Structure 1
Amino acid sequence: MNKIIIINGFIAALVIAGLSSWLLWSTAGDAAHSQSAWLGYLIMVAGLAVIYVAIKQVRDQQCGGLIGFYKGFSIGLQVTLIAAFFYVLSWEFYYQSAGQDFITNYQQSQLSHMAEAGATDAEMAASRKDMQAFAQWYDRWYNRAMVTLFEILPVGLLISVLAAALLRTRQTG
């Protein structure tokens, strides 16, 4: 079981970290953050689809075709944690090597959207102040790691729940 989990975790990590890195490098400095966020989550779903494969492999190869929800969920969670670890590492590598302007670009993008929507000067000033505080908080590596982890973790948990529910089997007879 461990071999299946590790292999599928690495496959998920390669897909997610690889495609996410490509997305980041290809859109560096681009203000299209909302579109790249949706694409980023789509990449996560595609990479974490191997959770289904991992649970099915364990069920069919090691459990005689029977697996309960909790064991399936546990397998999905372990695959998710491996993928999440490498996702966080890849973001930190990107951030340290080329992403230092990420927060500035994101803030400018958000302020532009606010201005287009007709935000008042007071609203813009309050938003700038909040964004400045967030930028200082985000400058610490452990805060970045936590934010990045909480991007991928809910996606992996949801896919784990769905795959475990779909693949669970009950002994008949």
Structure 2
Amino acid sequence: MFRIVLKYGLIAGVIVGLALVSVSLAYGGQPPPDWGMAAGFASMLIALSMVFVGIKRHRDTAGGGVIRFWPAFGLGLAISGVASVVYVLAWELSLVLVGGDFAAMFAQHMVERAEAKGLAGDALAAAVAKAREFEAMYRNPLLRMPMTFVEIFPVGVLVSLVSALVLRNPRVLPARA
């Protein structure tokens, strides 16, 4: 089972990591926020399809075509965990390769969104203070890395849940003889 976790977790991580690094390099670390978020989640879903493949592979080889929900869910979480760690490493690599100051850029974007909402006076000052607080916090890798992990891992939990629910039924994509 460890080989399946490692194999499919690394495949998923490399897929989402390559997408992340490619988009970061293509846009100099500043993709359009809405488009960048949509592309990021789409690449996560595509990459995390390896959770389904890994669970099915384990079910077909080690389980003789049968797997219960909890073992399938646990396997999916393990694959998602490996993929999430690779995603975090890819983000850190992106930050180094792009060389820009993502924390400052994102904080500035937060201020611009507050201004676009029409905030002024004390409300705008509070938004600016919150943006500066985020910027300072994001510069600390011990805080940034768990935040990055939490971007992808919940998607992996959801994919693991759906995959385990579907694949616990041996009639769904039955094992070939």
Alignment TM-score, normalising by the size of structure 2:
0.89
Q: Which amino acid is 1:59 matched to?
A: R
Task: Say if 1:67 and 1:168, in contact at 8 Å, map to a contact too.
Answer: yes
Q: Which amino acid is 1:122 matched to?
A: D
Task: Say if 2:55 and 2:72, in contact at 8 Å, map to a contact too.
Answer: yes
Q: Distance in 2 between matches of 1:49 and 1:29?
A: 26
- Structure 1 pair 7/31, CA: closer, same or farther in 2 (3 Å)? closer
Q: CA RMSD in A?
A: 1.6
Task: Say if 1:31 and 1:106, in contact at 8 Å, map to a contact too.
Answer: no
Q: Distance in 2 between matches of 1:45 and 1:147?
A: 19
Q: Which amino acid is 2:155 matched to?
A: V
Instruction: Give secondary structure in 1 for the equivalent of 2:104.
Output: helix
- Structure 1 pair 29/13, CA: closer, same or farther in 2 (3 Å)? closer
Q: Which amino acid is 2:81 matched to?
A: L
Q: Distance in 1 between matches of 2:29 and 2:116?
A: 20
Match of 2:45 in 1: 45
Q: Distance in 1 between matches of 2:59 and 2:89?
A: 31
- Structure 1 pair 143/99, CA: closer, same or farther in 2 (3 Å)? farther
Which range moved further: 119-128 or 151-160? Answer: 119-128
Instruction: Give secondary structure in 2 for the equivalent of 1:118.
Output: coil
Match of 2:135 in 1: 135
Shift of 1:45: 0.7
Match of 1:144 in 2: 144
Aligned length: 170
Match of 1:103 in 2: 103
Q: Which amino acid is 2:28 matched to?
A: A
Shift of 1:42: 1.0
Structure 2: which 5+ residue stretches go unaligned?
Answer: 171-177
Q: Point out 4+ residue stretches in structure 1 off by more than 6 angstroms.
A: none
- What does 1:1-173 align with in structure 2 at a 5 Å threshold? 1-30=1-30, 32-169=32-169
Match of 2:175 in 1: none
Q: Distance in 1 between matches of 2:55 and 2:169?
A: 12
Which range moved further: 22-31 or 59-68? Answer: 22-31
- Structure 1 pair 42/99, CA: closer, same or farther in 2 (3 Å)? farther
Alignment TM-score, normalising by the size of structure 1:
0.91
Shift of 1:24: 1.1
